Chain A
Amino acid sequence: MYFLPTVDQLALQRGVRDLLDDRFPLDRLPAGYDAGLWESLTETGVFSLRSELGLGLADAVLVFEELGRAGLPGPLVGTFLLGGSVAGPVTVVDPDRRPLLVSHLDVAAGLLVLDTDGAYVAAPVTGVPLSDPVDPLTPLHELVAVPDPTATRLGETTAELRAAGVVLTAALQVGLAGRLTELAVDYAKTREQFGKPIGSFQAVKHLCADMFVRAELARAGVHSAAVMLDDPEVGDASRAVHGAKLLADEAATTNGRSCIQVHGGMGFTWEVPVHFFAKRAWLQATEFGTADEHAEDLAGLL
């Protein structure tokens, strides 16, 4: 038994972090989707790790944590799931949820539709853009109808695609939860009140400690689910996948709130970038199943 990232995995993760720190720093974040960077990520193999490079989800979740940590906007999960079989960004459509909102439709080269009967690929359709989405960096379109509902389903890969999507979304949430912890801790170390850094006060320190703990627990859950999906013999993967998403959602959304709280009034301003991360956490908490759905599904397995 050995359950830590390997040297190779850490190097892969480090490489992605360095690229994103360089190309997508905090001050670049408010400008949103970056087509040039997307191209670079594609060339680097971020979306084809599994389909072409022969790596597994255990590797992919480490990369997705970094994408989440950077707050990188874009249809990351759908593009990875189709792994280059469509050229360009792929966004996911979940027709079982209403209203029928799709993210990043404006840049999508294809749609991955995941419904109760299976999964299929559809050509992009037009939708009505939301004039003011909560996450300002993730454009949302409302579709009037499910695209191409009679298309041929991809077959037996559906459950596997969906599970992978859940875990990758959870990994994005873990990355966010970790970044929100970093931002809160950095601020608590430098912001002074009453003549001391606010991070010396237990009331603030404990908020930060809880943020760290939430992110670490969710990370362990996500890594474990990814390892089980790669090698189903080592555990009950479906149980682990449900748990991963619900803990990651909880970590990201609660850390969003806590991080703003640590920043005080400045956290409520647009110029401090914390809100972008907090809002992304809310968005991703509705993708690939909510925490409530996963909790109920997990209970059904008991």
Chain B
Amino acid sequence: MGRQVIVADVDLRDSPDEQRFRAELRDWLVAALAMLPPKPDHNDWPGRRAYDTAWQKQLHAAGYAGINWPIEYGGRGATPTEHLIFLEESERAGAPYVGVNFVGLLHAGPTIATEGNAEQRAEHLPRILAGEEVWCQGFSEPTAGSDLASMRTRAVRDGEHYVVSGHKLWTSHAEAADFCELLVRTDSDAPKHKGISWLMVPMDSPGIEVRPLRTILGSTEFSEVFFDDVRVPVANRVGEENDGWRVTMVTLSFERGTAWVDQIVDSIRLVGDLARIAKRVTDRHGTAWDDRGLRRDIGHLAAEFDALWALTKRGVSEASGGSGIPGPSASVLKLRYTEARQRLMDLGARVLDRASLSRTDLAGLPAAEWANERINSINYTIAAGTSQIQRNIVGERILGLPRER
């Protein structure tokens, strides 16, 4: 898919097409969100599945499902900038997040689209887009975290089946999923990146046990998944046998610089909220806002999120102009955004003082949002590549520094 190189003027405005896209989306969001049912409890997985897939069905009916997927795979084929606008407007309107549809829409679906065969695409892609099929990810293992390629879950060929045994960890939405995108070792003698295959595993297969993991939020965001002689048809393999590592890496190219859009938009809102909260919280010296040091810290974070927003636009422009793959700004964004978000949450706690100890609203203050997100933000510098791994990536792939070893 050769994308045309765009020669354009620097322009932060929407083009006429982008304006139209934004206006239509805004109108649709207002109408669609009015019909939204109440949000289910965090630990109610059937409820969460129903809520998240209902939203996906609404998106699908309106033609917004798979916004960034190519048209040939059933997506909308939106430009990177339209994708950015979609995420920005959805966040501003308070639309539900992608939720249990995350793996299907952002990972397994794109993998099947680019690496799967015609039957695999026809079976899964329409159902993922329509919110009828939920996926989870079986990649990490207890002994394979940042060093994912050292994973050990084995698949042994038995006629037209693989027999899978092993133990996966950090599997989001396992309780709600119909399928698992599973990395298995099909050749234990090959070098570690070469003996891996990528399988589609129905979660109702005999021999699969899901054990929810309670996180520091107190809820079950992830599970451990145990595979005990699970039989998976060979026809469920995507890509060639032992080529699963490459298959996995290809997937990342669908994202196009938009990974943190909703979060950055949300953080800019939270900085403004925090300024307003600080103006009414008092201690014996006056309001929190009277404190110059605090004002500077808030101003500093506002600058940081504004610049991250600018950097996001740059990353999206990079993806629009060339290969469709974002440039170095992706690692830069992950590193700086996740750390800034944690600082923001700590600053919120400084302003809220003792109210920061409550996970329900207290004393007329939005304590719940700040306390919950303060806890949640701890995982940002760990999930999807720790900050330490990100720094290795920046150092080695961008700056060309030699690898350790």
Contacts and interface: CB of A to CB of B under 8 A. Distances in A.
Nearest to A299: B299
Contact of A296 (B299, B308, B328): B299
A60 to B, nearest CB: 13
Interface string B286-320: 00000010011111101110111011011011101
Contact of A299 (B295, B311, B392, B404): B295
Interface string B73-95: 00000000100100000000000
Given A224-B307, A299-B299, A212 B398 contact: yes
B303 A185 contact: no
B interface majority secondary structure? helix
A208 B11 CA distance: 32
A297 B335 CA distance: 26
A58 interface: yes
Contacts of B295: 295-296, 299-300
Nearest to B14: A1
A217 B311 contact: yes
A218 B12 CA distance: 17
Contact of B10 (A58, A202, A244): A58
B330 to A, nearest CB: 11
Interface in B1-31: 6-15, 18
Given A208-B399, A246-B300, A299-B296, A2 B320 contact: yes
A261 to B, nearest CB: 15
Interface string B332-358: 100110000000000000000000000
Contact of B310 (A206, A224, A246, A294): A224
Contact of B307 (A3, A200, A243): A243
Nearest to A218: B307
A31 B356 CA distance: 56
A231 B9 CA distance: 13
Interface in B220-254: none
B306 A243 contact: yes
Nearest to A4: B317
A3 B12 CA distance: 6
A58 B10 CA distance: 8
Given A1-B11, A1-B14, A213-B332, A220 B307 contact: yes
Most B Cβ at <10 Å: residue of A1, A197, A224, A244: A1
Nearest to A210: B391
A228 interface: yes
Interface string A200-235: 111001101110110011101101100110010111
B323 to A, nearest CB: 14
A218 B390 CA distance: 19
A292 interface: yes
A224 B314 CA distance: 10
Contacts of B402: 189, 196-197, 199-200
B275 A1 contact: no
Interface in B370-397: 388, 390-392, 394-396
B40 interface: no
Contacts of A200: 401-405
Interface residues of B, number: 59
A189 to B, nearest CB: 6
B303 A188 contact: no
Contacts of A220: 307-308, 310-311, 314, 329
By size class, the interface of chain A is 35 or more
A208 B13 CA distance: 34
A2 B299 contact: no
Contacts of A209: 335, 390-392, 394-395, 398-399
Given A199-B395, A206-B388, A242-B299, A1 B81 contact: yes
B12 A217 contact: no
A4 B318 contact: yes
Contacts of A244: 303, 307
B299 A3 contact: no
A60 B272 CA distance: 31
Given A5-B10, A299-B298, A205 B400 contact: no
A6 B6 CA distance: 10
Nearest to B295: A299
B400 A185 contact: yes
A247 interface: yes
Nearest to B399: A185
A224 B296 CA distance: 21
Contacts of A246: 299-300, 303
Contacts of A185: 399-401
B400 A221 contact: no
B394 A213 contact: yes
Given A212-B394, A299-B299, A1 B313 contact: yes
A298 B10 contact: no
A243 B302 contact: yes
A7 interface: yes
A240 B306 contact: yes
B135 to A, nearest CB: 31
B352 to A, nearest CB: 17
Given A3-B317, A246-B303, A205 B10 contact: no
Contacts of B300: 246, 291, 295, 298
B59 interface: no
A239 interface: yes
A205 B392 contact: yes
Interface string A165-200: 000000000000000010001001100000011011
A6 B7 contact: yes
B303 A247 contact: yes
B392 A227 contact: no
A186 B335 CA distance: 23
A9 interface: yes
Contacts of B332: 212-213, 216-217
Contact of A6 (B9, B275, B391, B401): B9
B99 interface: no
Contacts of A234: 11-13
Nearest to A223: B310
21 contacts: A5-B10, A58-B10, A185-B399, A185-B400, A189-B401, A199-B402, A200-B401, A205-B395, A205-B404, A209-B390, A212-B394, A216-B328, A221-B303, A227-B11, A243-B304, A247-B304, A294-B299, A295-B303, A296-B292, A296-B299, A299-B275
* Nearest 4 pairs of A and B residues by beta carbon: A243-B303, A221-B307, A299-B299, A295-B299
